[in-house]
Amino acid sequence: MKFSQLFLPTLREAPSDADTVSARLMLRAGMIRKLASGIYEWLPLGLRVLRKVENIIREEMNAVRGQEVWLPLLLPKELWEETGRWGVYGKELFRLKDRKDAEFCLGPTHEEAITDLVRRDVRSYRQLPLMLYQFGTKFRDEIRPRFGIMRAREFLMKDAYSFHADEKDLESYYQEMFSAYKRICERCGFTYRAVEATTGAIGGSFSHEFMVLAEAGEEEIAWCECGYGANSEKAECVKPAGSNIADAPQKPVQEIHTPGLRSVAEVGKFLAAEPASFIKTMLYVADGVPVVALVRGDHEINEAKLQAYLGSATLLLANEKTIIEVTGAPTGFAGPVNLKAKVKVIADYAVSCMSAAVSGANKQDYHLTNIVAGRDFTPDAIIDLRMVAHTDACVKCGKPLQFSRGIEVGHTFKLGLKYSTSMKAVYLDAAGKENLMVMGCYGIGVSRIVAATIEQRNDENGIIWPLNVAPFAVAVVPVNMADESVRRTAEDIYRQLRERGIDVLLDDRDERAGIKFKDMDLIGIPYRITIGEKNLKNNNGEFKARWEKNDQSRLIPIDAIVAETVAIINR
C-alpha cells in the first residue's frame, strides 16, 4: 500500500474524551473514529489489525474442529423467553419492535440462537460432538461505555459453542479449547494469565477468563507462581487452620453507648479498637428472603460467594425497613447477637475465630464488645465469604498471592445443561434414548484484543505492534521523494517485498523525513527501511525495528535488504 493512497487520517492530539492510552493511540493513528458513545468506525489501518486478529482466532478455532457459521443479529424475543433471559438480561439488552409490533433484541451473545439452531438439526449421538463458531457484531447497552473500543456498545466478538453427548466429553473438549485460547494469547504477543472466574449472566458451572496484564484493566486478578490464578471476585481465601477462641481470655459481653456512631471507622475511633476486631454485619435479601452476612471489620464481603452459597437468583442489599424488622434497630447498629427476627446467619471463616469482637447491639446507638463467636451467637453456616485481601496467601501452595490489573479478552464457560434444559436440546443415544446435550461456550473480544495489545505495547511515540497483528510488517521510507534515485530505490524495494508476500507500506508522501518517521512510529510498524541520499551513495539502506532506539539502526546493502528483511520477518 502507498501512503499517499491510504485513508489514514492521523492526529497530533487525541480528542479530550479519550480515556486510555489505547483509545488515544487508536484515534491518533487513524485506526478508529467515534460516532457516538460506545460506537466506533473502523478505518482501513484499524481494520487491517482487526482482520489479522480475527484470522489468528479463526485458525485456532478450526484447529479444534470448529465450523464457522453466521447467526442473525436480530433475535426474536420468544427465544429469549424460553431461557428466561429476556427478563434477567436487563437494560444491557437493546430491544426493538418490528412494524407488526413483534419484539426483538440485538444479540449481546448467542446461546439461545445457537441452541435453537442445533436442537432443530441435531438428532443423533452420531452428530456429536459439534463445535460451531462465528465472528459477529455484538450489542450491549453498557452502563458505562469507555476506554474506546475496549468497552463499547457495539463490538466484534468471536463466540463459539460446543455440544456434547456427556459431561466427560465436554470436560476433555474444554481442555482443548483452553489450550487454543492460550495459543491465541501467545500469537497476539500477550503477557497474560488464565484465571478462574465467576459465571455471571451467561451462567454455567465453571469458567476461565483470559486476562491481559495492564494497568488499564478493569479487573483485579490474584495469582501465584505455583500457577493458581483467579479474578479477585472468584479468588478463594485460605481457611484458618483452627480457632484460637478456646485459649483466649473470654470476658462477658458489654454494651457500650455509641450515640450516632455507625461505621467501623467511627466506632473504632471512639473505642480505640482496630477494624480487625469488628464484625461487619450486612443484611441482604436473597430471592425475597432476608439473610445476615458477617465478615471481619477489615475484610470486604464477597457478594458473589454469598449468592453462590445461597444459590439464589437475586441478591440485594436490604432496605431500611427490612433492617429494622430483622435487627430492631436502624442501619448502623446491626450485629450477630440478639437479632430480632429468625434469619439465616452466614459467617466468614475469620469471624468464626474471633474472641473479643465489637459489633452493633441491634439497638439504636449501642454496640457490644467482647463478643465470642460460638458463645454469643451461632452462625447457620461458616464459609469463605470475603474478598481476597492483598495480604492473603495462595490457597493452593501457601505463598503470598500476587495481584495485577487485567483486561479480560476471553472467557470460556462450561455451561453444562443450562441452555439444553430450558430449550430442550436433546439427542438420541446409541440405545435410542433421549438425552440432553451438554454445552460449552467460548467468547473472545476481537476488537478488545486490538486495544489490549496497544495497552501492553506502546511508548511515548506511539504503538509498537507485534509482527503477527501489525497492519503492515514493514514501512519503506524514502527521505526525499524529489531525489530520483532515492524514489526509484524505495519503490523497487517496496515492489520486491510485495512480491514476496510481505505487508509493506511505502511512505511516498512529499513530507519531511521527520514527519514520516513520527507517523511510522505512531502507527507502530514493526520494521522500517529508510532510503536516504547519503547512505544510498554507499549503496546502503537503513534498517530499524520499531522497539529499537535510533542509534540501534543498521546499514544493509541495497541488494541484500529485501532478502534480509524477509528473513527477519520469517524468523
Asked if 20 is part of the footprint of ligand ATP (rule: CB under 6 A), the reply reads no
Question: Which C-beta is closer to ligand ATP: that of 439 or that of 444?
Answer: 444
Minimum CB separation of residue 487 from ligand ATP in Å reads: 43
Cα distance between residue 471 and residue 451, in whole Å? 14
Minimum CB separation of residue 249 from ligand ATP in Å reads: 47
| Window of 124-132, 148-156, 499-507, 548-556 that interacts with ligand ATP by CB under 6 A | 148-156
Minimum CB separation of residue 54 from ligand ATP in Å reads: 13
Minimum CB separation of residue 207 from ligand ATP in Å reads: 8
Asked if 32 is part of the footprint of ligand ATP (rule: CB under 6 A), the reply reads no
Using CB under 6 A, which of 19, 82, 141, 142 touches ligand ATP? 142
Cα distance between residue 110 and residue 145, in whole Å? 21
Under 8 Å between Cβ of 562 and 493: yes
Cα distance between residue 383 and residue 295, in whole Å? 10
368 forms bridges with which residues in the sheet? Answer: 255, 359
Using CB under 6 A, which of 52, 85, 140, 544 touches ligand ATP? 140
Distances (CA, A) of 329 to 124, 291, 339: 61, 16, 10
Q: List, in order, residues 6 or more apart from 167 with CB less than 8 Å away.
A: 416, 438
Asked if 411 is part of the footprint of ligand ATP (rule: CB under 6 A), the reply reads yes
Asked if 157 is part of the footprint of ligand ATP (rule: CB under 6 A), the reply reads yes
Under 8 Å between Cβ of 399 and 231: no
Q: What grid cell was written down for 423?
A: 430449550
| Window of 232-240, 278-286, 406-414, 469-477 that interacts with ligand ATP by CB under 6 A | 406-414
Contacts 24+ apart (CB under 8 A), 255-261: 255/361, 255/363, 255/366, 255/367, 255/368, 256/366, 256/367, 256/368, 256/369, 257/365, 257/366, 258/365, 258/366, 258/367, 259/365, 260/365, 261/332, 261/365, 261/367
Minimum CB separation of residue 14 from ligand ATP in Å reads: 19
Residue 501, SS3 per DSSP:
coil
Minimum CB separation of residue 150 from ligand ATP in Å reads: 6
| Window of 275-283, 409-417, 483-491, 528-536 that interacts with ligand ATP by CB under 6 A | 409-417
Minimum CB separation of residue 445 from ligand ATP in Å reads: 2
Q: From the CA atom positions of the chain, what is the Rg in Å? A: 30
The H or E element spanning position 25 is helix 21-28
**Footprint on residues 194-213 left by ligand ATP (CB under 6 A):** 200, 202
The DSSP code sequence of 66-108 is -EE----SEEEHHHHHHTTHHHHTGGGSEEEE-TT--EEEE-S
Map residues 418-457 to x or -, x wherever contact with ligand ATP holds by CB under 6 A: -------------------------xxx-xx---------
Minimum CB separation of residue 411 from ligand ATP in Å reads: 3
Question: Which C-beta is closer to ligand ATP: that of 180 or that of 394?
Answer: 180
Asked if 151 is part of the footprint of ligand ATP (rule: CB under 6 A), the reply reads yes
Q: List, in order, residues 6 or more apart from 561 with CB less than 8 Å away.
A: 493, 529, 541, 543
Minimum CB separation of residue 113 from ligand ATP in Å reads: 14
| Window of 98-106, 149-157, 423-431, 532-540 that interacts with ligand ATP by CB under 6 A | 149-157
By Cβ distance, which residue is nearest to ligand ATP? Answer: 445
Asked if 112 is part of the footprint of ligand ATP (rule: CB under 6 A), the reply reads no
Q: What grid cell was written down for 297?
A: 471489620
Cα distance between residue 290 and residue 319, in whole Å? 10
Using CB under 6 A, which of 40, 42, 155, 163 touches ligand ATP? 155
Using CB under 6 A, which of 20, 22, 83, 109 touches ligand ATP? 109
End-to-end alpha-carbon separation of the chain, Å?
A: 23
- Identity of the residue numbered 313: A
Q: Is the CA virtual torsion 371, 377, 378, 382 positive or negative?
A: negative
Minimum CB separation of residue 219 from ligand ATP in Å reads: 7
Residue 421, SS3 per DSSP:
helix
Minimum CB separation of residue 147 from ligand ATP in Å reads: 9
Number of residues that bind ligand ATP (CB under 6 A): 18
Minimum CB separation of residue 90 from ligand ATP in Å reads: 12
The H or E element spanning position 193 is strand 192-197
| Window of 152-160, 239-247, 274-282, 351-359 that interacts with ligand ATP by CB under 6 A | 152-160
Distances (CA, A) of 115 to 144, 312, 464: 30, 25, 41
Minimum CB separation of residue 237 from ligand ATP in Å reads: 22
Map residues 361-380 to x or -, x wherever contact with ligand ATP holds by CB under 6 A: --------------------
Asked if 234 is part of the footprint of ligand ATP (rule: CB under 6 A), the reply reads no
Cα distance between residue 296 and residue 288, in whole Å? 26
Binding site for ligand ATP (CB under 6 A): 109, 140, 142, 151-152, 155, 157, 200, 202, 408-411, 443-445, 447-448
